[in-house]
Structure 1
Amino acid sequence: MSSRDAAEEEDTSEGPPSETEPGSPPTESSQLFGVVLVAAVAAILAGMVVLTLAFGVAGGSSADGTVAVVSIEGPIAEPIGENLESELRDIRTNESIDAVVLKMNTPGGAPEPTERMYMSIQRTSQEMPVLASVQGLSASAGYYMMSPSEEIYVLPSSQVGSVGLAAGAPRPQPPVRGPSGPDKRGSNVIQSWAQLETLGNIFIETIMEQRGDRIELSREEISTAKVFLGVNSVENGYADQLGSLDDAIDDAAERADQRSIESPSERSVGSPPSRFSPKLSTDSSQSTTRIRLLRMCDQLAPRWSTNQQSHTSVSSKRSHRRISTKSLPTL
């Protein structure tokens, strides 16, 4: 070997270490990173499991129960109707939930999502107590959708009512070219007004059906679409009681207790225990349902539209899901 070759070999051996080849043993830093990553993933999964279990086992057949608070805020438009349907469907199938309180603060909105929300609330009220608590405003479509509630709570300064339909005046449209039938020739102003009147009458009839035995106003007075302060709405029957959200939650819990006492044998022999059949003490001070915390899992968030935000408020008394909407013209 020549002196030049020996020098090159010596220089190569003294150079910086080469990169770790694939398949070579991991370095100490890479091992540390792997441990940290695995620990982080494990912590996240553990948290998800805890939340899932908390959501699944709250309530049950014990003397404790859960009241779900669903908050509806802002003008009503899609996809809020679909969102509420999905939320209440989950509540109806969750054995840990005994009652629902609707936290209302909406000026109203479009007829179609309102009708869907109304039907979903009505169906839920057939399976468990559903109460409403009006914060600032629940008018027009907001009042319509909460009318199936067993009890409506309002603050003295709350505003409720506006039973009716508001829409822009129909305008005639030019006929289309080559109509296939007489109704394809363009809009009919008289027919459009008749359709609006029909929708308005359906609104009024629904309120009369749901609260006719409580409202002390005639159908003609209701059709004026007046808005009443909370203190006045209790007097005329548009609402039932003055009280806070906590008052509504306590009332819902007591009604869930009462249903469990009145119908203790709703399930057949051998079926899992009903969520409406907890073992209650005969002592009234001990038989009042204690409202346990229901923690809505973050995994449920993807079902909400990207235009909506699902917020979970943690408190000692209730779970709180807020449904907000874009600001759109109301009908």
Structure 2
Amino acid sequence: MHYNDKFHTNIRFDFIKHQKKFFGASLALVVLGIVSLLVFGLNYGVDFKAGTNMDIEIGKAVTQEQAKELLGTLGYKDLAPTVGGASNQRLSVRFDEVLEQPKVTEILNALKKQYGDQVSAEVNVVSPDMARELGVKTIYAVIIASVAIMIYVAIRFEWRFALAANIAILYDAFVVVALFSIFRLEVDLPFIAAVLTTIGYSINDKIVIFDRIRENLRFSKTKNKEQLAEMVNASLWQTMARNVYTVLTVLIVAISLYLFGSESIKLFALAKIIGLTSGAYSSVCIASPLWLMLRGKQKPKQTAKTSAAS
């Protein structure tokens, strides 16, 4: 740990000095994610492919093995039903086909025969056309959100800040998608909501840091890249406590949802946890060093010219 007299800041770790390591690790994860997406793709839920989802209230405790065995007798041996709810009385089953009403009735009658007349179900059907429409609208939502954020940052700061921030938030969104692809986790509409909120929380961290960089840049005389690096590093540590506390506050909630929430919200919470962690990392290790690289390519203004202009 060393103390920066110029900015009155405790520098516990030099992020700028190790930026190549951060860029290399981030690039490796991006490449791994691209390979996984090309080879395996995403494990789409019913929301993004034609199919039927049945949320069934059994009324008594049921195990996954019992539910799987019962569905097997009806010709669905490959399904993996999810058991949850209070005392494991709720069953969630996702079918890769659009079930007609007679088939839904047959499944419910089999469950009622096994567990009693208290069995009830909520059935959601997604047609192929609806699945395609949801997929297209999701892509539009991510693009529009990214462009809007880039325009906002460009207006409030400058294009270098906007470009660095947008690359970093797209990286955050991609990390969530890549990890869900690598570990074959299901992608549904709550997952998309998690990705979009990740973009929102991610840009918040970056705005705080960029605002401090702009303030330090305004009141300090930086003449070369080394001085710029010193200023950026100091700005990161000046805002570190605020960013950590902000992220931890939301992260605690997301972890609680994942640990104690229902099965239907666990993947949403997991996507939030990944996105928040990536957003905190990219704000410090990607966005700020990227801005420094872009700014470093600009020719510094000569002191004489500055004095003459003033």
TM-score using structure 1 length: 0.21
Greater share of residues in helix: 2
TM-score using structure 2 length: 0.22
Greater share of residues in strand: 1
User: Computing the radius of gyration over CA atoms, which structure comes out larger, 1 or 2?
Assistant: 1
